[in-house]
Amino acid sequence: MKILRDRRGLSRVGAIGFGLRNRACSQGLLRSSAKTMAILAADSLRGTALLALRLALIYPVKVVRKSIKTVASLFGTKPKASS
């Protein structure tokens, strides 16, 4: 996908169509369509899992860190001046 998009300048849909046509020549249209659907399903699952991880773990951790820094700056003590 990356090679087709970077080197040939294809869009994501264009790269998917290119793969479908190439596999159809060697495996037949039905098997090629099934393979393409399997690839799309795996990509969708991966994207959904990453989004769920971001929403459940990464964003809340960022909010907690920022909150801790804000509270610490409000109630923090000033450093003592050396004599």
**Distance, CA of 29 to CA of 36 (rounded, Å):** 10
Domain count, the chain: 1
Q: Is 79 within a domain?
A: no
Per-residue H/E/C for 47-79: HHHHHHHHHHHHHHHHHHHHHHHHHHHHHCCCC
83 pLDDT above the threshold of 60: no
- pTM here? 0.61
Which residues constitute the domain of residue 37? 2-73
Model confidence pLDDT, tens digit, residues 15-31: 989 989 999 988 999 99
Q: Is 82 within a domain?
A: no
Q: Are 15 and 2 in contact (CB under 8 A)?
A: no
**Got the DSSP string for 7-46?**
HS---HHHHHHHHHHHHHHHH-HHHHHHHHHHHHHHHHHH
Q: Can you give the pLDDT at residue 81?
A: 58
Model confidence pLDDT, tens digit, residues 32-48: 999 999 999 999 999 99
79 pLDDT above the threshold of 70: no
Model confidence pLDDT, tens digit, residues 50-74: 999 999 999 999 999 998 888 888 8
Q: Is 78 within a domain?
A: no
